[in-house]
């Protein structure tokens, strides 16, 4: 079976890379002798991260804050024309789509928009091209929504109505698709990244061994991210409150438990806003801490998962950092910036350990972290029982694909 994975973003985001790696792990386990290719927005960077052929995403566009409104409008009109194509042949030609027996839209959370998003249209075009090539299409453990823009919501429905099967990774996305009356069958499964195999790292072992010798308290991992707070009016004050919450939690953990807090960047690009090291430094520069430190090292996602597995506790804003930690049975507090994190914590019956980024305060995050540490033994026991079930269930999309019939 020839499998083409589309909609990949950037391996500089270790969570996105973890999704691709875990999909490859699961597909190879459940579909022996399959051939896999991936189409990504940044092929020159990503070809170093994966052991499968990497090609450039079809109709690849790069839009940033410097892109003019006129250019965005022209791009949007062009892509809407592609999405509205009703002919029986593709408007965009690509040999990888012709090669594929099955096209898989990779896991993640890219089919969403708070306003009018050119990037969401680009993701839809990648899926629509597979439809035009009349290929079976599987949506692989995604979060979908929110879709506040009516034009994009309608276009999303037109595309998703025609795919073969949709797997979403939480009930909120499932409810949205049912509300939209999507015609394709929809099923809830865990995030694919739960299945990613970790890889031991000499650098991780060196760091941990040095910390265990020099420090007797717990080692607590922490991921942060910059966020634009699109759902609130006062973006600046919410960002300050988020930063203050992280800072006071670090100081509390140091004082109360003599903890060593490691700020562990999960995303290093593709731009400065998405580089977690920048806001990590801002957080550390604003407090007088002797024990907190930034881990400024570019780990492979499999090695990063191994690093998280060596923590005594974890606090994560980046969702896949939480998944990497939870998959290793590490007690975790999650800060939810999109409904995907909340949904996954609910699936694991960990509702008491997730707080929305719009609502987070120093008091809330400190109390939640305190509760997590004090209940760590029962949480480890809970995860030890629950995670194997989640890992098994995360393979459902690959098992389904192995049963597909397709045109030769």
**Integer CA distances (angstroms), 208 to 144, 263, 308, 329, in order:** 38, 14, 11, 18
Q: What's the rounded mean pLDDT across residues 118-143?
A: 96
Q: Which domains does the chain have, with CATH numbers?
A: 2-195+392-402 (3.40.50.2000), 202-330+332-374 (3.40.50.2000)
Question: pLDDT tens digit string along 51-100?
Answer: 999 999 999 987 776 778 888 899 999 999 999 998 878 999 999 999 99
What is the spatial order of strands in the sheet that 293-294 belongs to?
Answer: 293-294, 260-263, 219-223, 313-316, 332-336, 354-356
Note the pLDDT of residue 17: 95
**The pLDDT of residue 304 is above 60:** yes
The pLDDT value given to residue 406: 63
**Complete DSSP assignment for 187-207:** EE---GGGGPPP---HHHHHH
- Tell me, what's the pLDDT at 9? 87
**Each residue of 91-124: pLDDT tens digit?**
999 999 999 999 999 998 999 998 888 999 999 9
Q: What is the pLDDT of residue 248?
A: 98
Does 407 score more than 70 pLDDT?
no
E-assigned strands of 280-347? 293-294, 313-316, 332-336
Count of helices and strands (H, E) across the chain = 16, 14
What pLDDT is stored for residue 87 in this prediction?
A: 83
Is the omega angle on the peptide bond into residue 67 within 30 degrees of 0, that is, cis? no
Percent of all residues in the chain with a pLDDT value above 90, rounded to a whole number: 85
Whole-number pLDDT of residue 274: 86
């Amino acid at each position: 079976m020839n499998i083409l994975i589309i909609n990949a973003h950037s391996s500089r985001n270790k969570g996105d890379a973890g999704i691709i790696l875990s999909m490859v792990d699961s597909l190879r386990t459940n579909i022996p002798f399959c051939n896999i290719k991936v189409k990504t927005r940044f092929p020159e960077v990503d070809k170093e991260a994966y052991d499968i052929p990497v090609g450039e995403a079809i109709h690849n566009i790069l839009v940033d804050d410097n892109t003019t409104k006129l250019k965005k409008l022209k791009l949007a009109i062009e892509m809407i024309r592609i999405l509205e194509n009703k002919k029986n042949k593709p408007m965009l030609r690509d040999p990888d789509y012709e090669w594929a027996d099955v096209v898989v839209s990779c896991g993640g959370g890219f089919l969403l928009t708070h306003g009018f998003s050119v990037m969401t249209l680009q993701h839809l075009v990648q899926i629509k091209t597979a439809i035009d090539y009349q290929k079976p299409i599987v949506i692989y453990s995604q979060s979908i929504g929110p879709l506040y823009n009516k034009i994009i919501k309608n276009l999303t429905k037109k595309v998703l109505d025609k795919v073969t099967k949709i797997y979403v990774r939480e009930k909120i996305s499932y409810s949205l698709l049912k509300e939209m009356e999507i015609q394709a069958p929809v099923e809830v499964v865990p995030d694919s990244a739960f299945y990613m195999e970790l890889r031991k790292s000499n650098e991780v072992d060196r760091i941990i061994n040095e910390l265990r010798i020099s420090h007797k308290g717990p080692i607590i991992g922490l991921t942060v991210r910059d966020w634009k707070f699109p759902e609130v009016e006062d973006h600046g004050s919410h960002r300050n409150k988020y930063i203050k919450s992280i800072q006071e939690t670090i100081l509390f953990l140091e004082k109360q438990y003599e903890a060593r807090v490691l700020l562990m960047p999960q995303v290093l690009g593709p731009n400065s806003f998405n580089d977690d090291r920048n806001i990590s430094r801002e957080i550390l520069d604003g407090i007088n801490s002797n024990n907190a430190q930034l881990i400024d090292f570019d780990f492979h996602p499999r090695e990063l998962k191994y690093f998280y597995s060596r923590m005594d506790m974890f606090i994560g804003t980046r969702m896949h950092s939480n998944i990497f930690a939870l998959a290793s049975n590490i007690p975790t507090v999650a800060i939810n910036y999109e409904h995907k994190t909340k949904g996954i914590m609910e699936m694991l019956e960990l509702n008491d350990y997730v707080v929305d980024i719009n609502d987070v305060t120093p008091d809330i995050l400190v109390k939640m972290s305190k509760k997590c540490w004090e209940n760590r033994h029962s949480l480890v026991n809970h995860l030890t029982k629950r995670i194997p079930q989640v890992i098994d269930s995360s393979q459902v999309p690959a098992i389904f694909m192995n049963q597909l019939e397709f045109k030769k």
